[in-house]
Structure 1
Amino acid sequence: MFGVGDPNARLCFLGEAPGADEDRLGEPFVGRAGQLLTKMIEACTLSRGEVYILNVLKCRPPGNRNPTPHEAGACRGFLERQLELIDPEYVCCLGAVAAHNFLGVETPIGRLRGQVHHHAGRKVVCTYHPAYLLRNPSAKKPAWDDLKLLMREMGVEL
């Protein structure tokens, strides 16, 4: 599964890998975490159709575990080509796995969030993965702060 959304989007949301629902339906972020991501996007006065949603991995890892570096490396060319074609100005990394793989760092997500990073000619904001937010509702406020930072950078009024 490669992604969904506007192929000319200014903003891409980058997750780690498809889950069971995504694997079954062939579209990223369609399960409970995807429903929350849609609400997050809409809270930013955008729609799923105005952004592009993709994952580091293009298929679900066995047991829905985190992708190995080898698996992420095997999909890296696809991810780079997608971003080259879409050419977004902004990338929002959803969770540590996406942030680590995209930025090439091992910094904890708690230290990556709350700031704008620059990578491969793009502005990057990292925040908590929607699945994490479902398990840890107290992290929703910091995630909202990250999205407000991203929208300010994009010039979007909230």
Structure 2
Amino acid sequence: MRRQAKSRRDDTGAREEDNIFSRFGLESEAMPSALDPRLRQALADRVRYYHDLGIYDFYRRPIQASGEGSASVARAPSPAISESEGRQTLMEVRTEPSMTDPASGLRLIREDIGDCTRCRLHKQGRKQIVFGVGNPRAELMFIGEAPGADEDEQGEPFVGRAGQLLNNMIKAMGLRREDIYIANIIKCRPPGNRTPERDECETCSPFLMRQIEVIGPKAIVALGAVAAKTLLAINAPMSELRGQWYDFRGTKLAVTYHPAYLLRDPRQKKEAWKDLQMVMKELGLKPLEKSAEQTS
């Protein structure tokens, strides 16, 4: 009876793993015919982790290994593949080699994006992809919603008037722009600087999730409602989102106003400064003297 119960549990677990793998096309493309059950379960756990992050596609490519030669993830089924070869291939899906070299990891993500045509924005006037900028090992990340006209022109986030204000906010915290990492939920400018659509955020944000994982910041600041609601999957007003810490995949996340909003309503700058002070306390940063004026 015990053997029968264990067999039923094993069968149920295998079916669940098959369902997880099929969401990513792994069953037909990268799964060897014979696979150690423990490795299979570990792979399923890793795929489930990416799915929870909102990553629904693997962009598999040859990756230079740290040792001799290189290994690649198969793109087509190989009938001659051995279990040991399959184990090595699948471990590349489980392990992020870029974690020990964030700069290389970010370059790989950028290459995976390519000249992106995954959503409608590539046909609506965007000039270039605005990937992100800053220290690959930053302890602090700022995440906005989307590039504007200046960002689309220069290929770097937060370089217009809102970017100048963000620079002042960063300086008031006792940091430099090059100390932190800046990115957006989506990487292409929406026409007329409109608010990004939900499906655009869902399509593009998995790349941001990979950036966050590679950089591994101690804290994230979500700038504005779009960034906050996308990252936290919470539909709440800014007044309720601000002033507290959230756990984002093991990283502390705070919410504050987008610099563009502060330009439209300067009265909220003091509130934004309170949010930044909370972040500074968490990171052990000391503000510049008269730092409240630095955000003007």
TM bin, normalised by shorter chain, reads over 0.9
CA positional deviation for 1:44: 0.0
1:42-65 Cα offsets, whole Å, 9 max, x none, are 000000000000000010112211
Aligned residue among 123, 128, 134 for 2:252: 123
Which has the larger displacement, 25-34 or 109-118?
Answer: 109-118
Does residue 83 in structure 1 map to residue 212 in structure 2? Answer: yes
Q: Structure 1: how far apart are the matches of 2:178 and 2:205?
A: 24
Which has the larger displacement, 145-154 or 110-119?
Answer: 110-119
Residue 147 of structure 2: aligned partner = 18
1:7-29 Cα offsets, whole Å, 9 max, x none, are 00000000000000000000000
User: What is the count of residue pairs matched by the alignment?
Assistant: 158
Counterpart of 1:95, as a letter, is G
Aligned residue among 119, 131, 135 for 2:264: 135
Residue 64 of structure 1: aligned partner = 193
Counterpart of 2:234, as a letter, is V
Q: Structure 2: how far apart are the matches of 1:153 and 1:116?
A: 10
| Residue segments in structure 2 that go unaligned for 5+ positions in a row | 1-129, 288-296
CA positional deviation for 1:68: 0.7
Residue 172 of structure 2: aligned partner = 43
Aligned residue among 103, 127, 142 for 2:232: 103
CA positional deviation for 1:145: 0.4
| Residue segments in structure 1 that go unaligned for 5+ positions in a row | none
The structure whose RCO (Cα within 8 Å, separation 6+) is larger is 1
Q: Runs ≥4 in structure 1, deviation > 4 angstroms?
A: none
SS of residue matched to 1:58: coil
Residue 3 of structure 1: aligned partner = 132
Q: Structure 2: how far apart are the matches of 1:131 and 1:110?
A: 17
Identity, % of aligned positions: 56
Q: CA RMSD in A?
A: 0.7
Q: Which has the higher strand share?
A: 1
Which has the larger displacement, 39-48 or 76-85?
Answer: 76-85
- Length-normalised TM-score, structure 1: 0.98
